[in-house]
Chains A and B, each alone.
Chain A
Amino acid sequence: DTGVSQDPRHKITKRGQNVTFRCDPISEHNRLYWYRQTLGQGPEFLTYFQNEAQLEKSRLLSDRFSAERPKGSFSTLEIQRTEQGDSAMYLCASSPGLSGSYNEQFFGPGTRLTVL
């Protein structure tokens, strides 16, 4: 296990198209997070899973965005009808999720989305 992986690393799409990104967390990490990072900004929280349950969603996550983690392992983030403003780096992170304590988040390399 070499850490959190994300696929693809880069995606260029035309406005209006749908895109899907995948995140594979570290094995046995039951918490999984998605963030978006635009140029000059820090990561912005999008959503969080505990196992397969999506427990929190940011108000930033419009209805064009949907995330799943069907078996509590890998996760997908889909953006429908992409807009130029969706261009960003999409980061995934995972953590062990031991109860009652904060756990370090391990970040993936990110997927850079460019919407033309």
Chain B
Amino acid sequence: QVTLRESGPALVKPTQTLTLTCTFSGFSLSTSGMCVSWVRQPPGKALEWLALIDWDDDKYYSTSLKTRLTISKDTSKNQVVLTMTNMDPVDTATYYCARTTTVYAFDIWGQGTMVTVSS
């Protein structure tokens, strides 16, 4: 069974750096075709893709946010970490990690973690 779980702070202050961890099980990020993505959703708004890391350690970022994002993986721990710098209240959202494959795209999602940016 494939599962993903996001973890990180529920509250961050403006200008701080957000670090989120996606811990997964049921698949290996060293298997060809396997990737993990981060997607966020502000309250009442649409999904927004943020970043993706693949089995070969290639990384892809949202063009509008790429200067603020870093994605990395620890294959031995089955974890993917996303950092977002210079947080702003507009970054308040539920952040999801999702297994991403070349066939099914975002096929399995975590439950999401709500992050509020406020002083």
A binds B: no
Contact surface of A with B, Cβ cutoff 8 Å: none
